[in-house]
Each structure stands twice: as C-alpha cells, then as structure tokens.
Amino acid sequence: MQHYGSHRYLRFLNYAFSVTKYHYTHRKPRAAQVPPTYPSIIPVLGHLALFIWDNAGFFRKVTSYNGKFTSARLSFLGHDIYLFQHRATIKNIWKMSTLSSPMSIQIYCLKYLFGLSERALAIYRADRSGPHAKPYPGSNVTDENRIDYRTHHEFLRALSGPGLAPTLQRYKTAFARNLDRLEFSSAEDSWNIMDDFQDFFFGNMGASLVESLLGPSLLRLSPTFVENLIEFDNNVPWLARGIPSFIMPKRYRARNRLHEQIKQWHAYARSHFNENSISDDGDGDPFWGSQLVRNRHTILHEVGQSDSDIAATDLGLAFGLVTNTNPTAMMVVWHIFRDPQLLKRVRRELEDLFASESIRSIDPKQLSKASLLSSVYAEVLRLYVNIYVMVSPQHEDSLLGR
C-alpha cells in the first residue's frame, strides 16, 4: 500500500511540474524553443485517452491559451505531435519544401482507416525522399521505391491542368445520366420529395465521382459499394482512434466488405482490360476507369504491394473522392434551398450563364464565373470545414515562428 502511495505521489509531482512548466513557457517565451507539452496525468498513455474521448474538443482546448491561438505539444504513446494554428506559422509551413510531404498522416490513414498491412506500410515508412522530383538531401531511397513522389506525381498529372479534362467529362456524363434516371420535374413551381438528402448526394454525385476515376465496372459489379462507403464514412471517427477490431468488430466488417468488393473489381478488370479498351482521349477505359488508376496499380505492384494492399489504398482513393466533395456540395444546396430569395438569385445567375445548356456540355471555367454561387460555396467552407494537415521534417528540424 505504501509503495502504491509513493507512486501516486510521484505522479502528482510530475503532473504539477508539467503544469508549472507549461504556464511558464507560455508566459516567458524565447526564440527557437519547441512548444510546451500540454500537461498529462498519465505520462505513459499521454493524451491518448482525451483524444479518443473527444478529439475535436480536445484539439480546440490545447491550441488556445488565455483566449488566443497557440501552439502545443502532445504525447501519444511516446510520440510527440505539435499543433499549430497561428497564421504566420502556417504560412511558414507551406513555404518550406522540407515540410511538404504528408507521409506521416498518409501512413496513419492507410493503417488505421483503410487497413493497409504492416508489410505494405514498411515501404511508406522507408521513403524519406519527399514528394518532389528532386529527393530531399540525405535520403537514399531508390527511384523505384520513391512511393511518395511517384504517387504524388500521378495525382498532380491526373487532377490538375489538362489531365483533369477527361475525368471532368466522364463525371459530367455520369452525373447527367444519374439525374436523368430520377425523372425530376423541372417546373419552377414544382417540388420533388426525397427520403434522405445525404443518400441523394452520395447515390448520384458520389457514384458519379467514383465512376469518373474508377470506372463503371466497380459499381456494376457491386451496386451497394456507395452505400457501404456511407457506412464506412460513419465509422471513420472510430477507426481513426485506433480502437482494435475485437472491441468494435461490426465497424471492421464494414471495411472488409469494401475490400472484397474492390478486389472483385480488380480481378474483373485484370481479366477484361487490354490496350484497345482505352478511350480516344487516352485516359478512360470501362474496366480500370482512368490512367490514374492504371498507373497507380503499376507503381504499387512494382514496390511489392499485394492485391489486398492495393484494395486498401483504392478504398482510400474512393473515400477521398466521395467524402471530400459530397458534404460540402450538400450543405451548399441546403443553404440555397432554405432561403427562397437566395434560390431565385442563384437560379437567375445560372440561367444567365448557361441558359438551357445541358450539364454534359457545361464548361467548369464558366461555372467559376458564377460569383454568387462561388460566394455561397466559400461561406460554407468557412462555416463547416476544419482541416488538420500533418507534416513532418524528414531530415532536420525547422524554425516555424510562433
């Protein structure tokens, strides 16, 4: 009993010291110092329990001091994580090429969210060369194993500039086809009723996004794929906490169903695709869907990823496609429709720009000229979107400011 009491007393002293140091560092800052560690009662677990209980609220709490934004250092099972919110610091982070690799958060998501195996994660952990054509100084990764740069380069090619045009056209075609199937009334004084607003967006816009990059075969083979993706999206906050499968097996089974559907699609595409399947634009095909997917699979096979590993990374691709855009678009439409005057103004703006033009032929550059619609979109982002970006210096410490 006395031994237990002495341990409890030492823990109290350690906590009291960390609280004192935390406040002293905030009140007496000096140049080139790391952020103070946020006090923790249990040093071994660090802040893991508070993160699991309420991660968003916990982050808000630790990144403010006396009502102002501040930086903070957290401990998760022996690993230090630094949180920054100050505007000047964030600007410095974006300017530093040595902090441009998102590999840390990529590894975390691939492991906990999408279920990538430890064997497959090793290639990501070993790559400290960065996402640019020129490797970081001091890295010794072979060109073939530069998984960060090779996959990053493919995304840049496919999702920006001229490379995006074929994907946009496939999306517009699929989205217009999905809307045509609904047979909605287009009369201005007529309303259409739907059971679930979110399901409407995922089932139409989300499915169109999946088809635009992953092709029509996946959804034809697995009609419940998008529905399962919605269930997975609801499970992500729990998977992100790293809770093991025996505690919440249902959530892991939902992810496994998606893995199996993706592997079924992969097997079908491998047996049916040939070079003649590629469309005239040189990008799309009915089996793999796009040059992005074909090239990614080539890269991942070259670095030794198994079929199950590639299914996990493709789940990440599908999840990012659907969940990054659907919620924002849904909230934009919701805000427009709940304000009759705003609805009239947005409709008038779009009619002036496009008249009776079909969705299939709308130029996205013209759509960006819809200033009112763009302002609604920007305001929705401001109101609802919080983004956590994780970066890490690969070879040296960085001076960031506050």
- Choose the most confident range, by mean pLDDT, from 74-88, 189-203, 282-296: 282-296
pLDDT on residue 382: 92
Place of tokens 């640019």: 132
- Tell me the average pLDDT across 339-351: 95
Report the C-alpha gap between 218 and 286 in whole angstroms: 9
Q: How confident is the model at residue 1 (pLDDT cuts 50, 70, 90)?
A: very low
* Tens of pLDDT, residues 2-38: 454 555 656 666 667 677 777 767 676 666 677 777 7
pLDDT on residue 86: 76
pLDDT for 371 beyond 50: yes
Q: What is the DSSP string of 326-385?
A: HHHHHHHHHHHHT-HHHHHHHHHHHHHHHTT--GGG--HHHHTT-HHHHHHHHHHHHHH-
More confident residue, 298 or 130: 298
pLDDT for 74 beyond 90: no
More confident residue, 92 or 374: 374
pLDDT for 196 beyond 90: no
The region of weakest confidence among 119-133, 164-178, 190-204, 277-291 is 190-204
* Tens of pLDDT, residues 91-118: 887 777 666 677 888 999 999 999 999 9
More confident residue, 3 or 186: 186
Report the C-alpha gap between 64 and 58 in whole angstroms: 11
191: three-class secondary structure by DSSP: coil
Count CB atoms within 10 A of the CB of residue 353: 15
Residue 306, CA atoms < 13 Å, CB-side half-sphere: 11
Report the C-alpha gap between 61 and 89 in whole angstroms: 19
pLDDT on residue 241: 82
Q: What is the CA radius of gyration of the chain?
A: 24
Q: How confident is the model at residue 282 (pLDDT cuts 50, 70, 90)?
A: very high
| Fold for the domain defined by 149-184+196-325+353-364 | Cytochrome p450 (1.10.630)
pLDDT on residue 208: 96
pLDDT on residue 131: 87
pLDDT on residue 126: 93
Numbered ranges of CATH 1.10.630.10 in the chain:
149-184+196-325+353-364
Is beta strand 64-65 parallel, antiparallel or unpaired with respect to 72-76?
unpaired
Which alpha helices (DSSP H) does 160-224 contain, by range? Answer: 165-182, 197-201, 207-214, 216-221
